[in-house]
């Protein structure tokens, strides 16, 4: 289970970090509160959020998250994508609401873990 297989299975668009799609996916965390993610997300998780500002890159890098999945059709600005590439942070876009994205990701993770 890695970011590339998740991206392909769920139809996400890769906005940054194409070179790091081989990172493992250990789980997921869904929150829009940066302090919540900093306190509870674990390394190797995928972070589902509607936040698209530059601070998400810093949090994902600090927590060693496998990827950020931007939801709700939020547009990620070029300077955020540039910062993500500099910090080796993968940003994906699901194009769906957070609830639906989280549900699909949960099902994918469960299926991948249980074979």
| Confidence at 87, pLDDT banded by 50, 70, 90 | very high
Long-range contacts of 52-57 (CB under 8 A, 24+ apart): 52/76, 52/77, 52/80, 53/80, 54/79, 54/80, 54/83, 56/80, 56/91, 57/83, 57/84, 57/87, 57/89, 57/91
pLDDT reported for residue 59: 98
Tally: H helices and E strands in the chain: 5, 5
> Which domains can be identified in the chain, with CATH numbers?
3-114 (3.40.1390.20)
pTM for the structure as a whole: 0.95
| Confidence at 21, pLDDT banded by 50, 70, 90 | very high
Taking only the tens place, the pLDDT of each residue in 30-63 is 999 999 999 999 999 999 999 999 999 999 999 9
pLDDT reported for residue 113: 80
Mean pLDDT of the chain, nearest integer: 96
Decide if pLDDT at 115 tops 80: no
| H or E segment to which residue 62 belongs | helix 55-63
């Amino acid at each position: 289970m890695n970011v590339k297989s998740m991206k392909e299975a769920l139809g996400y668009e890769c906005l940054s970090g194409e070179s790091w799609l081989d990172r493992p996916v250990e789980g997921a965390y869904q929150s829009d509160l940066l302090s919540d993610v900093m306190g509870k997300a674990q390394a190797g998780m995928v972070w589902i959020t509607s936040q698209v500002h530059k601070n998400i890159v810093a949090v994902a890098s600090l927590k060693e998250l496998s990827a950020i999945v931007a939801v709700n059709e939020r547009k990620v600005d070029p300077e955020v994508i540039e910062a993500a590439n500099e910090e080796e942070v993968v940003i994906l876009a699901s194009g769906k609401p957070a609830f639906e994205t989280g549900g699909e990701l949960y099902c994918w993770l469960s299926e991948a873990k249980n074979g």
